[in-house]
Amino acid sequence: MRFDHDQPGALNSDETRENLGPVGINLFKKGGLPLWLATVAGVGLFPLAPGTAGSAAACLAFFFSQSFGLSFHLALLALTFTVGVWASGASEGAFGKSDDGRIVIDEVVGQWIALVPHFFLAAPFVPLVVTAFVAFRVFDIAKPGPVRWAERRFRGGLGVMADDVVAGGFAALTVGAVFWLWSVM
């Protein structure tokens, strides 16, 4: 896998998969840990739709973590957001552009926000997760009003994370509305 960017200091075509490790990132080189975290252990290096791959990874992780309850989920969400701001900001320089598509820790946070209604609704698990996944991807890709505002309002790592937090909030509201309507029908 090659990274082609024109900016000085960015990962460039001379740095091939062999010298970047098995998922394209050498943890032992300067900047390796933030890249590993920002790409969610290399998920962001998926060649097609890395953001969707990041959201899918978040749903898979949620499958295993949701049994620990809402408090655990919110603590994990807050920790991941905080680490995500740092790792995304540090990774933007390495990738040579802001909000590079390979940075998917923001999708993980947004997707986990979209899944919060699981803890409040008596809805079947799989349909709720699928609805949350689709709703989040739609809001994240379409970027309606406030999502676009958040994307443009902030810079650096916070800018990378902010639009996905807002998209996740809209997706959570959508999930809640869909399953509330389903329960009253």
Please provide the size of the chain in residues. Answer: 185
What is the per-residue pLDDT for 18?
38
Range of the domain at 98: 34-184
Q: Which stretches within 39-124 are classed as H helix?
A: 50-65, 70-95, 105-114
What is the per-residue pLDDT for 124?
86
Instruction: Compute the distance between CA of residue 37 and CA of residue 108 in angstroms, rounded to an integer.
Output: 11
Q: Is residue 160 part of a domain?
A: yes
Q: Is residue 42 part of a domain?
A: yes
Q: How many angstroms from the chain centroid is the CA of residue 51?
A: 7
Q: Is residue 152 part of a domain?
A: yes
What is the per-residue pLDDT for 112?
98
Q: Is residue 63 part of a domain?
A: yes
**Is 39 in contact with 25 (CB distance < 8 Å)?**
yes
Mean pLDDT per 10-residue interval, the chain, length 185 residues: 42 42 60 91 94 98 96 98 96 89 97 96 90 98 96 94 98 94 83
Q: Is residue 104 part of a domain?
A: yes
**Is 160 in contact with 92 (CB distance < 8 Å)?**
yes
Q: Is residue 12 part of a domain?
A: no
Q: How many domains does the chain have?
A: 1
Q: Is residue 13 part of a domain?
A: no
Terminal CA-CA length for the chain: 50
**Is 42 in contact with 24 (CB distance < 8 Å)?**
yes
Residue 132 burial (10 A CB sphere; 0-12, 13-18, 19+): buried
- Give the 3-state secondary structure percentages of the chain, helix then strand then coil, rounded to 5: 70, 0, 30
Question: What SS3 state is found at 14?
Answer: coil
Residue 44 burial (10 A CB sphere; 0-12, 13-18, 19+): buried
Q: Is residue 50 part of a domain?
A: yes
